Amino acid sequence: MAGVDAIAMPSPVQVRRDMQARIEKSERAISPLTTMLKETSLSPRGTSSPNSSTAKKGQPNGLRISSFQGNSFKCSSTTSDIGYQTIDSPSQPVEKAAIMHRHAASSHEANCTWSGVLPIRKYDNPTYSNKVFLGGVPWDIEPGGVQEAFTEFGHVKVEFPGNVPFQKKFGGRPRSEEDSVHCYGYLYVIFESDKHVKEMLKHCTRGGPHGKKEGSCSSNGDGEYYYKISSRKMRSKEVQVIPWVLCDSNYVAGPHPYHKLNNETTIFVGALHGMLNAEGLAHVMNDLFGNVVYAGVDTDKYKYPIGSGRVTFSSHRSYMRAVNAAFVEIKTTKFVKKVQIDPYLEEVPCSVCNSEVGPYFCRNQCCFKYYCSRCWSKVHGDIDPSLGVHSPVMRNSKNGGSANVSIKTNLSDLYKKLSSEP
């Protein structure tokens, strides 16, 4: 048609060239991601990276511990084969590796196993946290349904896993069935006061070695509480109620007038079970490693456990035995849980440059120091690449509050205080 330019069709050769150029462009875009995935690959337990044999040189032989069953223990590995998730390349960001290490207990075998009966505490007039754990709740339960179930005990708030309120978790939108299936199973109920918690426990049934009976909030702590909750699809389902007695957050193994809490003989214990109190934690660690003088369980603003704690020993040898154990499985009649042990960390300067804060700690015995990000990369990469397999440990700032006492507290004063509590 006159006045209209004819559209020139590309030749087959040109089409192939354009497709090849697009493919090459896509490969260049994907290449950095592929490299990152290779660098962040984890060494499975029982295998080693190319530098692992070199990294083990100079390390002292680990202390072998036996298995603990019926108040006896066992440990099947030494320090050199703990098998952490390690970084294969020193170029891996140290902070990312430290965050990965916090969850190492979920993917590693336990090196020590404790099996036995935990001490049973008796309470005359206990003071409870306003926050209560509910386990085994119906998957289709709504926050309004939970509040209605406890309405006779005053106004309650519902908190879901991860400290996420209902409105934030679902963005104010209606919940789908898929949301329920993947997000529920347990939750927390926050009462207005300790008085309301006690009243609720009186309406619970107790499960123990002799079956279920009506509960009482002033008996011993060997039974489990159960409360019936209904949802749209489940009627009168018994859910487990786990309250927390405030005096269970700290424990001192007898008076120690001349011994203060010291971070150099204190371990951090993560992945604790919600039913393990400070005295039980001290009992387990003392059976395994000996010389425990203090145990504390970290708590949130409601003074409810957050799944971590710390234990202080009176001897450095017991402390190192615990650090070398790394992963301990605790078997009781009520639960089986694998916990993770790391050195207790403080905010201190870098041990190398001494000019910047050292947020990262190398728990390997040939290092056992605090590092800033720059010095970590330098020591564990530039100076000695074989140290690149070491796992950094980083202090979790969210656990900094807690109900634990100051690290410099005199244990004699703390023992007197705890002894006076109900």
- Say what the pTM is: 0.72
What pLDDT does 358 receive? 93
**pLDDT at residue 400 above 50?**
no
**DSSP alpha helices (H): ranges in 73-159?**
94-102, 143-149
The confidence band for 381, taking pLDDT boundaries of 50, 70 and 90, is confident
Which one, of 376, 370, 344, lies nearest residue 358 by Cα? 370
Is the Cβ–Cβ distance between 391 and 97 less than 8 Å?
Answer: yes
Per-residue pLDDT at 210 exceeds 50: no
How many percent of the chain have pLDDT more than 70? 62
**Domain spanning 131-244: CATH 3.60.20.10:** no
- From the CB of residue 73, how many other CB atoms can be counted at a distance below 10 Å? 20
How far is Cα 315 from Cα 262, in angstroms, rounded to an integer?
Answer: 11
Q: What pLDDT score was predicted for residue 95? A: 87
* Residue range(s) occupied by CATH 3.30.70.330 in the chain: 50-121+246-422, 131-244
> Residues with Cβ < 8 Å from 79, sequence gap 6 or more?
59, 60, 61, 62, 63, 324, 365
CA distance 292 to 322: 11
DSSP state letters, 316-383 = HHHHHHHHHH-EEEEE-SS-EEEEEEEE-----B-TTTSSSB--EEE-STTT--EE-HHHHHIIIIII
Mean pLDDT of 314-319: 95
Q: What tokens does 8 get?
A: 């020139």
Tell me the pLDDT tens digit for each residue of 3-22: 444 445 556 656 566 666 66
Confidence label for 282 from pLDDT (cuts 50, 70 and 90) = very high
Nearest to 391 by CA among 84, 78, 89, 49: 84
Burial (CB count <10 Å: 0-12, 13-18, 19+), residue 213: exposed
The answer to whether 94 touches 31, Cβ cutoff 8 Å, is: no
**pLDDT recorded at residue 42:** 36
* Nearest Cα to Cα of residue 394 among 376, 407, 378: 376
pLDDT digits (tens, 9 = 90+) for 134-156: 999 988 888 889 999 999 999 99
Query: 3-state SS of the chain: helix, strand, coil percent to 5?
Result: 30, 25, 45
Portion of the chain with pLDDT greater than 90, in percent = 45
pLDDT at 199 over 70: yes
- How many CA atoms are closer than 13 Å to the CA of 34, on its beta-carbon side? 6
The confidence score (pLDDT) of residue 263 equals 84
Label residue 43 by pLDDT band (50, 70, 90): very low
Find residue 328's DSSP bridge partners. Answer: 112, 339
Other Cβ atoms closer than 10 A to 241: 20
To which CATH superfamily is domain 50-121+246-422 assigned?
RRM (RNA recognition motif) domain (3.30.70.330)
